[in-house]
Amino acid sequence: MSIESRLKELGLSLPEASDPQGSYCNCVRTGNLLYVSGKGPVAGLKSVPKGKLGREYTTAQGYEFAKATGLDILSALELELGSLDKISRVVKLQGFVNATEEFEQHPKVLDGCSDLMAEVFGNKGVHARSVFGATSVRGNLPIIIDSIFEVED
């Protein structure tokens, strides 16, 4: 089954990929690895969320923000590659959660993106990852995720 068909089966549609927010590009390929710059929950949303987990937002809301961020990552990949079927493996996700000092649910927030990758790519979507709490991130977004993918030649 194609990834496009899988997305439809899951009832998901990809937003238009967000543009870089500085002097960098969305993706860089070296060999068979594609690095995707940090993305946040901005593409396809009516309003851009701003604020911290543990203050303005709950863990459940953070999960949804991470899922929305994952959709933006997929959009950037599709823009770069022309087709998500060229992804042979999700290698790693790294999340930066804009959170209060007391917030401890960082892994549960990043699960929103991790679960999406596994739903879309199956076993190829299971990946390594790390997640960090941040006192601030660009634009006061609740989460930023960067990622690495293995692609077919």
Over residues 123-152, mean pLDDT: 97
Between 96 and 46, whose confidence is greater? 96
pLDDT at 81 over 80: yes
Tens of pLDDT, residues 42-68: 877 788 999 999 999 999 999 999 999
Determine the Cα–Cα distance for residues 98 and 123; give it in Å rounded to an integer: 29
**With contact defined as beta carbons under 8 Å apart, do 119 and 7 qualify?**
no
Task: Tell whether domain 3-12+25-150 is in CATH 3.40.190.10.
Answer: no
117-132: per-residue pLDDT in tens?
A: 999 999 999 999 999 9
* Measured CA distances, 38 to 6, 30, 81, 101, 148 (Å): 25, 17, 18, 22, 11
pLDDT of residue 85: 97
